[in-house]
Structure 1
Amino acid sequence: MALGERGGWDKSESRYCGVETDFNDDMPHLLSFNLSSGGFDFVVASLMDPNYRPSLMEKDIGGGSHVLSFAGSDLVLSPSQWSSHVVGKISSWIDLDSEDEILRMDSETTLKQEISWASHLSLQACLLPSPKGASCANYARCVNQILQSLNNMQLWLRIPLVKNDDDTMDFIPSGDSWELWNSFRLLCEHHSQLSVALDVLSSLPSANSLGRWLGEPVRAAIIHTDSFLTNARGYPCLSRRHQKLITGFLNHSIQVVISGKLNQWCSQCELGFCFRPYWY
């Protein structure tokens, strides 16, 4: 899948860089700022106010509140803008395998609502949040159910690319994030519209661990700003291992997404252009 508008040449030879953004109900400004000033090709944007909870909305109905907290109207952008320049970001708080019954129910309702809205907008892809733990059966069940009736939209499951001994991955058997992905896609019956968005952090796994992803349907690499170093001239750069990894991703038509807070050396209007050297 290729986002952006690059002219008439083969899209498989194009290079695309997007940016992950916070929720903003002024989608035209968000898109214009990041594409025109930031040098990005697309945005990964939340489709719903992060404070929205179905259970809270039900309590407010008695007070006359019937409007869902979506990101504005579908008419604020043209159909081609939605399709070519926006990837929907599903709310990160959802946890369909939580022990809290209300959270589970809210999560499933919200996931289905957001995917339905994204489908209505004719988005090409939506970014699903990472599973919250090793047990992701209910999350996978719901995603698989959605996939059975989904149009051509792709679902990107966010998976952290971490070291096997990383303490943050204690909940994953064998400490390998690939195992988490493998379990999830098995529960989704290897559906062709389910793919991976790898969270690339400042520390990378071993070469062998990275190699396991070469045969997987990786659609995006999410690069966090804290992965950047500062070179001798004060400009942002990546380590040689990160450069090699990103170059490999780009050569396989995997799109890059910049995520995280901006560092002191890089303003928002410069960040998209920082990656252009990796395009060639």
Structure 2
Amino acid sequence: MQIEKARELGLCYGVRRAVEMLRDASQKYGSLQTLGPLAHNRVLLQELECQGVTTVDSPEKLTGPVVVVPAHGIAPDIMDLLRERGFATVDTTCPNVAKAQSIASDMAQDGLTIVIYGDSQHSEVRGLLGWAREKGVASLDPCTLPFIGDSSASQKVGIISQTTQRAESFASFVQQVCGAVLATSREVRIVNTLCDATRRRQAAAAELARTVDAMVVIGGRNSANTRRLAETCAGLVETYLIETAEELDAALLRSKTRIGLTAGASTPDSSIEQVECRLRRL
């Protein structure tokens, strides 16, 4: 069996930067709490917990005095609340997410209704909605947008994306929204806020998937970018999404001669190494 790894896979710059910042902070401050998971990967969070880093899901559960802002970022009102309560913060927000937050804020100040292409329950998108203030709405389906079909509304619309979405899906969404609002809108402003590292990983995975008998995608099932990777590969070849090496199904893979391997942007190096090692033993 031949194992081929995608030319780009695993921890992206933003998550790797966040992990390094957190490790430095834990050496300085000792035990730390993150307000929400640093990133959506169970193995990564377990590794951080061994270093004294734990996760809480609301400001009320913070014990302080230092709180870590996760890579997905948070809404500005939450950041203000932390400061008001006297917490020191270690802000690991991914630079790409921070840029999207700034764009959302600028659009809100310019009076645009901000459409965010993304999962409204995802932590990054909830943060972006906060930066959009009361002017934002998030959706993966243009038909659910409240102003679609309202011919009486004079619109100024801005469109951005959750950074980990697929470029093709965002383009289709933009086309549908523009088709619905151009007739009644005085301005439609579109900004590509997709993460280039995510795009490159998806392209590398697709390139590899076309040349192998099966793809194994490693990452958290609650990770948006990992799910996009799996969707990209599944459209091209038999694909398996796993979180750990123990989930590999030997019976399904032993008949394959070439297996491709890729991993989400929050998947630690240790997970990739363990999966590759187990595959080579099949």
Compute the TM-score of the two structures, normalised by the length of structure 1.
0.31
Q: Specify the structure having the higher radius of gyration (Cα).
A: 2
Higher helix proportion? 2
Compute the TM-score of the two structures, normalised by the length of structure 2.
0.30
* Higher relative contact order (Cα pairs below 8 Å, separated by 6+ residues): 2
